[in-house]
Structures are given as structure tokens and as C-alpha cells.
Amino acid sequence: MGVSMKIEGKVIVITGAARGIGQEYARYLAGLGARVVIADVNDCGHTLKLVQAEKGTAISAKLDVANAASAMDMAHTALDAFGRVDALINNAALFGGLKGGRFDTIAETEWDAAMAVNVKGIWNCCKAVVPA
């Protein structure tokens, strides 16, 4: 049994899917027949158009992973469109704004922002889709 047989028809939420590797996850999985939820704090329109141009099935959802209510809204959007969530790819991450160097040079606000997205964001999204 090939990979596409396991993926076809599955509903997969991908966070951080407006660009980069998240966008590629969306394109690849939709190409295998998954129904994808393209979720990001940034505009997902370009990724959605790419998936649809390749005959994939997708919707987009505005998502701030650091915000629990936003994660729940995303899950409800997925459920309203597809009736379930089979998988979640926690791809959203905050790293570009962090300056390199020693850990003691990172400002507390930068640390808090990174933890809100990179740790709490995963927790928020998992909690939001578990009942699905």
C-alpha cells in the first residue's frame, strides 16, 4: 500500500502554512489527496491558490497559535468544512526575530514571544483539535 492510500481523504491541519516548508507540506499532502487546512497568522491566499491550481482540496484559516481562542476558531473552521481533523502538523515557529549569541543577551520580551509561539502554540493547537 503506497503513501497516497494512507493520506488520501485525510483532513490535515498545517500551521505556519502561508509560506516556506508549511506551504510545501500543504502542496505535497494535497497532491496525495489529503484535504488540507492552511493555517497561519499571515495571509494564506497564495498557498491556497497554489493548492487549488494543482487540483487539491484546501481551505485557509487565520491562526495565531499563541492565542488559545484563535486555535479553537481554526479547529471549528476545519470541522465546519470537513467534519473532522485527522492530523495536525505543528509547523508554525518564531525564530527569525531572535538575535544570535549568548542566551543571556536575549531580551525577555523576545524570549516570551518565542515561547508563546514555539511551545504554547503547539499546546494550544493540540488542545483545539483533540476533540475533533
pLDDT for 73-85, tens place per residue? 999 999 999 999 9
Which pLDDT does position 96 carry in this prediction?
A: 66
Question: Which grid cell sits at 30?
Answer: 494535497
Query: Helix 20-31 crosses helix 45-53 at what angle (to 10 degrees)?
Result: 30
Cβ proximity of 65 and 42 under 8 Å: no
Which of 76, 83, 91, 92 minimizes the C-alpha distance to 129?
76
Residue 118 has a CB neighbour count (10 Å cut-off) of: 17
Residues 3-29 have pLDDT tens digits of: 556 999 999 999 999 999 999 999 999
pTM greater than 0.85 (yes/no): yes
Q: Which domains does the chain have, with CATH numbers?
A: 3-129 (3.40.50.720)
Residues 53-67 have pLDDT tens digits of: 999 999 999 999 999
